[in-house]
Structure 1
Amino acid sequence: MRHGIRRLGFCSALAAGTLALAPTAEAVTPTTATINFDCGVYGSGSATLTATQSGTAATINLSTSAIKAPISVGANSVTSTLTLTNKGSGAVTFTGNSNPAIPAGSPVSTGPLKGTVAAGDSLAAKSLKVVVFGITATCNATSAQAPGPFVF
């Protein structure tokens, strides 16, 4: 009986060690943030950014009232580049050409925009470039990202 108890203890310790070594899911915090953009003649307004992470791959979905579609825009026809600063310096870009269909007069939504991150990156939106039907709107952040930068 004593031998069985030792085996049970060893197996329990082995299982606990295996669980401790199991990979953990990466998480970005916060997952949602807001910021204001000025897009020149195309308008200005707030944007909501939603971030996710899987290892070094990250995505950001963006919806902004700063740019409204002048006519209906088909799905996957908006090309976007979101530039973020990392810890206040340097630049990290997220790009993509995926979007839902956008009815005329509606705010522009784009994403997922894809980028690469490293552990400890602290990214805050700086600018956004949106190309629709060959027309480019460049937007610059006019407020700090709230509640704060995305930390990966």
Structure 2
Amino acid sequence: MKPPTKHRTLSTATLLLGALAAGTLALAPAAQAVEPTTATLSFDCGSYGSGEASLTATQDGTAATITVSTSTITAPIPISANSVESTLTLTKNGSGTTTFTGNANPAIPAGGAVSTGPLNGTVTAGDSLEASSLTVVVLGITATCNATSPQNPGPFVF
């Protein structure tokens, strides 16, 4: 019997590695995803005004983030990155509440719209979350915004 050729050995190794990789992918857990990934709703922020906000959600296992962007609250002066403290309160499964918090934000020029996030929270499979209020603290000034419409197209389902 002839010893295997170099070409035959490499081909066999390539096939074995390919089969191993395919088997590993088949056994990998399915990625968890939130639906929808974006939603809009209206907020009333009292003396700061009212308007629409856009929410973007992501999920990685039980960790989730939501980024909020709204032109309702504007910066009176330039705001440095990571200096806006925010708490987004959401109705959880129609009865309880949960919060997403953080102080991540891009640098905001004077007169620019306040954008905050990602705000961090914890979820479990099947959680249905709908924003009910947003509290933003900029330079020690607190703005509280209450939702005046349901999320469109609907709650985030994790």
Secondary structure at 1:24's aligned position in 2?
coil
What is the number of equivalent residue pairs in this alignment? 141
Secondary structure at 2:109's aligned position in 1?
coil
Secondary structure at 1:50's aligned position in 2?
strand
Secondary structure at 1:147's aligned position in 2?
coil
How far the C-alpha of 1:109 sits from its partner, in A, is 0.2
For the residues of structure 2 that align with 1:113 and 1:19, how far apart are their CA atoms? 31
Structure 1, unaligned runs of 5 or more: 1-10
- 1:33-81 per-residue CA deviation (whole Å, 9 max, x = no partner) reads 0011000011111000000000000001110112111111111110000
- 2:81 equivalent among 49, 64, 75: 75
Give the corresponding residue for 1:8.
none
The AA in structure 1 aligned to 2:28 is A
Secondary structure at 1:41's aligned position in 2?
helix
Give the corresponding residue for 1:23.
29
How far the C-alpha of 1:31 sits from its partner, in A, is 0.5
The alignment yields a C-alpha RMSD, in angstroms, of 1.7
For the residues of structure 1 that align with 2:111 and 2:23, how far apart are their CA atoms? 57
Q: Tell me whether 1:118 sits opposite 2:124 in the alignment.
A: yes
Identity %: 76
Identify the range of structure 1 (15-24 vs 62-71) with the bigger mean alpha-carbon deviation.
15-24
The AA in structure 1 aligned to 2:152 is A
Runs of 4+ in structure 1 deviating by more than 6 angstroms, as ranges, are 14-17
Give the corresponding residue for 1:90.
96
